[in-house]
């Protein structure tokens, strides 16, 4: 397969993902124990891409330190987008390193090898994906196999095909990118560049893809985690003591110890140098990062637990995302079901949003500490560096560095 360059837009914070993005860019949020961006880079490498240009900005040092100058045999280059002024502006930041043909991708959605290979074959193409709720995306209209229009969030979509944010471009697109006007959203958007090119006779083939994981809100991380863990194959590199029950597909990475009485039902992934148990229950679709401790009489279900977090005794964590370096006091529990059993609503950027989930716990930032018997209510968003005192009850949005007693 011919070598190919890919440009990945990874400069934004992802404000809808707060509190998780207060301390890292959105593309570095872990799903199945790997950053979103790593899944994308690995899939691109398998599709034949040999050089990746990462457009970075917000907390860029996190990205640079993790991926370095080469990752998985792929050369990595970095371009800084000083201000995040839209997708066309991001691409313009990378113009000086672009080859004649390249892929361009959003760094916060996971696209898979087979679909990426389809795009690599096209000189000019746009990935389209069928969804049940097209009104929430950029809807693509197709004529004779080519994209005729992309309409952002139309009230009455004419199609269920949306723009998946993966493009095969030739460098000629830059003539239109440079002349893209600012949009009603106050950004320079590559979809407007495409519209200008199409009106000038350019053709972009609509390339329908089979799988696409979009991570727009924190609860989307749980759905993505479930989808990626569904194909897990067991691999035990750590130590398993006697009287441990493991059912289904479970990965235990090197240096981890699963202690007696632990009961683990896959798919579950446990990172390196973890101490699990004794006598804990880990339920399906749970990812536990490196250097974690899940201790006695702890139950974890359908959750993402990031690295260096300690949940040591008498805790319940369900349908939740817990950041790095957290420490839960004995008896701290997270509720994940409303008493009226209605779908859980949350507050994001001042708006009440329905998650569409009957079961959803909390989203907890980095370095959060709780005292004994703290209670965290459904849909709570807790910022980084928060202290929650013994017996406290927490609901709603808690700003970073808060103290709750």
pLDDT by position in tens, the chain (length 405): 456 899 999 998 888 899 999 999 999 999 999 999 999 999 999 998 999 999 999 999 999 999 999 998 889 999 998 888 888 899 989 989 888 899 999 999 999 999 999 998 888 889 999 888 888 888 888 788 888 888 888 888 888 889 898 999 999 989 898 888 888 887 888 888 888 888 888 888 989 899 999 898 999 999 999 999 999 999 999 999 999 999 999 999 999 999 999 999 989 999 999 999 999 999 999 999 999 999 999 999 999 999 999 999 999 999 999 999 999 999 999 999 999 999 999 988 888 999 999 999 999 999 999 999 999 999 999 999 999 999 999 999 999 999 999
Packing angle between helix 36-46 and helix 60-67, nearest 10 degrees? 40
Catalytic residues: 313
Q: What angle do CA 323, 384, 252 make, to 5 degrees?
A: 10
Question: What's the confidence (pLDDT) of residue 184?
Answer: 80
Paired sense of beta strands 393-394 and 375-376, if any: parallel
Question: What's the confidence (pLDDT) of residue 186?
Answer: 79
Paired sense of beta strands 397-398 and 381-382, if any: parallel
Which residue is associated with the tokens 């998946």? 164
Could you give the C-alpha distances from 302 to 82, 257, 309, 359, in angstroms and in order? 37, 21, 16, 10
Pick from 321, 333, 320, 360: nearest CA to 344: 360
Pick from 319, 332, 316, 331: nearest CA to 368: 332
Answer whether 0.85 is exceeded by the pTM. yes
Asked if residues 310 and 290 have their Cβ atoms less than 8 Å apart, the reply is no
Q: Which residues contact 66 (CB under 8 A, 6 or more apart)?
A: 28, 35, 38
Distance CA 17, CA 231 (A): 26
Residue ranges per structural domain of the chain: 4-216, 227-404
Which residue is associated with the tokens 């989307």? 220
Asked if residues 263 and 283 have their Cβ atoms less than 8 Å apart, the reply is no
Could you give the C-alpha distances from 373 to 333, 380, 390, 395, in angstroms and in order? 7, 16, 6, 15
Pick from 165, 167, 164, 162: nearest CA to 139: 162
Fold of the domain built from segment(s) 227-404 = UDP N-Acetylglucosamine Acyltransferase; domain 1 (2.160.10)
**DSSP 8-class letter at 180:** P
CATH homologous superfamily for 4-216?
Answer: Spore Coat Polysaccharide Biosynthesis Protein SpsA; Chain A (3.90.550.10)
Q: What angle do CA 180, 184, 185 make, to 5 degrees?
A: 95
Alpha-helical regions (H) of 94-137? 113-121
Q: Distance between alpha carbon 229 and the CA centroid of its chain, in Å?
A: 14
Helical (H) or strand (E) element with 229: helix 218-229
Tokens of 299: 């139950």
Question: What's the confidence (pLDDT) of residue 2?
Answer: 55
DSSP states of 7-28 as a string? Answer: EEEE----GGGTTGGGSS-GGG
Pick from 129, 130, 161, 155: nearest CA to 143: 161
Q: Which of 346-350's residues contact partners 24+ apart within 8 Å by CB, and which partners?
A: 346/219, 346/379, 346/381, 347/379, 347/381, 347/396, 347/397, 348/16, 348/217, 348/381, 349/15, 349/16, 349/18
**DSSP 8-class letter at 39:** H
Pick from 285, 320, 325, 284: nearest CA to 306: 325
Question: What's the confidence (pLDDT) of residue 246?
Answer: 97
Distance CA 322, CA 213 (A): 21
């Amino acid at each position: 397969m011919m070598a190919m360059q890919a440009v990945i837009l990874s400069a934004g914070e992802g404000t809808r993902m707060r509190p998780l993005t207060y301390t890292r860019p959105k593309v570095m949020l872990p799903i199945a124990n790997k950053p979103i961006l790593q899944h994308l880079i690995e899939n691109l490498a398998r599709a034949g891409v040999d050089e990746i240009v990462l457009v970075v900005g917000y907390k860029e040092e996190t990205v640079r330190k993790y991926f370095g100058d080469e990752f998985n045999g792929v050369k990595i280059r970095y371009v800084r987008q000083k201000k995040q002024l839209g997708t066309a502006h991001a691409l313009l930041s990378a113009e000086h390193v672009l080859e004649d043909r390249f892929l361009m991708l959003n760094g916060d959605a996971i696209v898979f090898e087979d679909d990426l290979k389809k795009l690599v074959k096209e000189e000019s193409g746009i990935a389209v994906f069928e969804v049940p709720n097209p009104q929430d995306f950029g809807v693509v209209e197709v004529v004779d196999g080519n994209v005729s229009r992309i309409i952002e969030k139309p009230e009455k979509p004419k199609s269920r095909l949306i723009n998946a944010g993966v493009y095969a471009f030739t460098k000629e697109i830059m003539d239109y990118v440079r002349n893209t006007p600012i949009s009603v959203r106050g950004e320079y958007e590559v979809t407007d560049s495409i519209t200008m090119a199409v009106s000038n006779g350019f053709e972009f083939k609509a390339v329908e893809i089979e799988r696409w994981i979009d991570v727009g809100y924190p609860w989307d991380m749980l759905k993505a985690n479930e989808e990626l863990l569904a194909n897990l194959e067991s691999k035990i590199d750590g130590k398993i003591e006697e009287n441990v029950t493991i059912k289904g597909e479970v990965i235990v990475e090197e240096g981890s110890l699963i202690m007696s009485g632990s009961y683990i039902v896959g798919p579950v992934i446990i990172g390196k140098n973890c101490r699990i148990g004794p006598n804990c229950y880990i339920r399906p679709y749970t990812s536990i990062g490196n250097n974690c401790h899940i201790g006695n009489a702890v139950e974890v279900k359908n959750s993402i637990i990031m690295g260096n977090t300690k949940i040591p005794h008498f805790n319940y964590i369900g349908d939740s995302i817990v950041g790095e370096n957290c420490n839960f006091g004995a008896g701290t529990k997270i509720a994940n079901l409303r008493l009226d059993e209605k779908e859980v609503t949350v507050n994001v950027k001042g708006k009440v949003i329905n998650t569409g989930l009957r079961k959803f716990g909390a989203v907890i930032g980095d370095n959060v500490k709780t005292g004994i018997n703290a209670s965290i209510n459904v849909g709570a968003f807790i910022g980084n560096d928060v202290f929650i005192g013994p017996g406290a009850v927490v609901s709603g949005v808690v700003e970073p560095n808060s103290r709750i007693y």
